[in-house]
Amino acid sequence: MSLDLTFIGQIVVFLTLVYLMRKHLYGPMAELMDARSKKIADGLAAADAGKEALANAELEIADQLKEARAKAVEIIAASEKRAAELLEEAVGKARNDAQGIVDSAREEVTAELNRARQTLRSEVADIAMMAAERVVEAELDASRHAALVDGIVSKGFGNA
Amino acid sequence: MDLAETSHGEGGIAGHLHYWTLKIDESNPFMQIHLDTMLVSIVVASGLFIFALWLKNRLVEGAPSGAQNFMESVVGFIDQTVSDNFPVHNPLIAPLAFTVFVFIALINSIDILPAFLIGNVAGLFGVEHFRPVPTNDLNLPAAMAVSVFALVLYYEFKLKPVHFMKSLVMEPFTNLVPVYLKPIVMPINLILKVVEEIAKPLSLSFRLFGNMFAGEVIFLLIAFLLLGGGAIGMAAGFFVGLAWTIFHLFIGLLQAFIFMILTVVYLSIAHQPAEH
What lies within 8 Å, CB to CB, of B18 at 6+ separation is B128, B129, B131
Would residue B203 show up in a list of annotated catalytic residues for this protein? yes
Mind telling me how many Å the CA of A32 is from chain B's nearest CA?
Answer: 6
DSSP symbols for B19-59? --EEES-TT-TTSEEEHHHHHHHHHHHHHHHHHHHHHHTT-
Closest CA to B136 of B62, B213, B82, B242: B213
Mind telling me how many Å the CA of A70 is from chain B's nearest CA?
Answer: 52
Please give the average per-residue pLDDT across A80-84, as a whole number: 95
Residue B149: Cβ within 10 Å count: 20
Indicate which of B56, B77, B104 best probes the interface with A, i.e. most A CBs within 10 Å of its own CB: B56
The answer to whether A17 contacts B49, with C-beta atoms less than 8 Å apart, is yes
Please give the average per-residue pLDDT across A112-141, as a whole number: 80
What lies within 8 Å, CB to CB, of B58 at 6+ separation is B68
Would residue B131 show up in a list of annotated catalytic residues for this protein? no
- Could you give phi then psi for residue B23, rounded to 5 degrees? -90, 120
Indicate which of A2, A10, A16, A36 best probes the interface with B, i.e. most B CBs within 10 Å of its own CB: A10
The answer to whether B138 contacts A22, with C-beta atoms less than 8 Å apart, is no
User: What does the pLDDT look like over B199-220, one tens digit per residue?
Assistant: 999 999 999 999 998 988 888 8
- Could you give phi then psi for residue B131, rounded to 5 degrees? -100, 115
Question: A138 CB near a chain B CB, below 8 Å?
Answer: no
Of B52, B59, B143, the CB nearest to A20: B52
Domain ranges of chain A: 5-156
The answer to whether B142 contacts A4, with C-beta atoms less than 8 Å apart, is no
CA B156 to chain centre: 23
CA B228 to chain centre: 34
Catalytic one among B85, B90, B139, B207? B207
**Radius of gyration of chain A from its Cα atoms, rounded to whole angstroms:** 61
Q: Supply the pLDDT for residue A137.
A: 65
User: What does the pLDDT look like over B71-122, one tens digit per residue?
Assistant: 889 988 998 888 888 888 888 899 999 999 999 999 998 888 876 777 778 7
What lies within 8 Å, CB to CB, of B213 at 6+ separation is B136
Q: What is this model's ipTM?
A: 0.83
Find, in chain B, the residue whose alpha carbon is nearest to that of A32: B61
Q: What are the residue ranges in chain B where pLDDT is below 50?
A: 1-10
Mind telling me how many Å the CA of B122 is from chain A's nearest CA?
Answer: 19
Question: A40 CB near a chain B CB, below 8 Å?
Answer: no
User: CA-to-CA distance for B269 and B196, rounded, in angstroms?
Assistant: 13
- Percent of chain B predicted with pLDDT > 90: 27
- Counted residue by residue, chain B has a size of 276
Q: Which residues from chain B sit within 8 angstroms of residue A1, using beta carbons?
A: 138
User: What does the pLDDT look like over A34-74, one tens digit per residue?
Assistant: 888 899 999 999 999 999 999 999 999 999 999 999 999 99
Mind telling me how many Å the CA of A9 is from chain B's nearest CA?
Answer: 7
Residue B241 near residue B219 (C-beta atoms within 8 A): yes
* DSSP run (H or E) holding B201: helix B182-227
Question: A5 CB near a chain B CB, below 8 Å?
Answer: yes
- The beta strand positions in chain B, using DSSP E, are 21-23, 32-34
* Candidate ranges A135-144, A150-159, B59-68, B101-110; pick with highest mean pLDDT: B101-110
Residue B200 near residue B266 (C-beta atoms within 8 A): yes
Q: B124 burial class (0-12, 13-18, 19+ CB within 10 angstroms)?
A: exposed
Q: A48 burial class (0-12, 13-18, 19+ CB within 10 angstroms)?
A: exposed
User: CA-to-CA distance for B12 and B209, rounded, in angstroms?
Assistant: 21
